[in-house]
Amino acid sequence: INEGYNTGLATFVSGTVGAAREAAFMQGRSLAVSMHPMTPSDTILFFADYTIRIAEKLLNYPVPPMTVCSVNLPALPLEEMGDPIVRPLSRKVYQDGYEMGITPRGERYFLLEPEQPIENPEPDSDIAGLNSGHIVFTFIALDDCDQSQFDDFPLKPWENDRRTVFPDADRS
């Protein structure tokens, strides 16, 4: 279980979700499981068992190819937690902060500050679900972007220009 949420756009740079995505690419079932660092210990014990049960259910569930199931646990005691829900990724971006320090040798170093809450997440997003006290499931799939929408993109920006970008390229 990863310590730290994997929600919103942060999932695209997450090592935890990235490892699960690798399994999905190899046609396997994949599960990325994360929790807040301040989650109470009894909730963590519950979540560990819950994760095993979810993984067993995921094995036989008809998930589309190359789909990651990402699960995030709120930092709440069990009795305060809402029912599990499925929500899409938020489109909000975390703002990282860094604290600079000086080593005894006089060298600078930087520490990542604790995550700051995202203000006003989309109401039906993964972040809003966590903020409301739910275990949140997000199924992340590769969306097949319709490439034909880019048919008019200027692939040869040097046409009608004397500057050469690719000197050996066919200019026809």
pTM, two decimals, is: 0.78
Q: Which residue has the higher pLDDT, 9 or 158?
A: 9
Task: Tell me what pLDDT residue 112 has.
Answer: 76
Q: Comparing 32-36, 84-88, 152-156, 160-164, which segment has the lowest mean pLDDT? A: 160-164
Q: Give the rounded distance of the alpha carbon of 53 from its chain centre.
A: 22
Place of tokens 């029912």: 83
pLDDT at 164 over 60: no
Record the tokens describing residue 159, joined without a space. 């046409």
**What average pLDDT is seen over the chain?**
86
Contacts for 22 with CB less than 8 Å, ≥ 6 apart: 30
pLDDT tens readout for residues 22-76: 999 998 899 999 998 889 999 999 999 999 999 999 999 998 889 999 999 999 9
Burial degree of 168 (CB within 10 A; 0-12, 13-18, 19+): exposed
SS (H, E, C) 46-115: HHHHHHHHHHHHHHCCCCCCCEEEEEEECCCCHHHCEEEEECCCCCCCCCCCEEEEECCCCCEEEEECCC
pLDDT of residue 160: 63
Comparing 41 with 115, which gets the higher pLDDT?
A: 41
Mean pLDDT confidence for 119-133: 92
To the nearest whole percent, how much of the chain has pLDDT over 70? 87
Per DSSP, the three-state class of 1 is coil
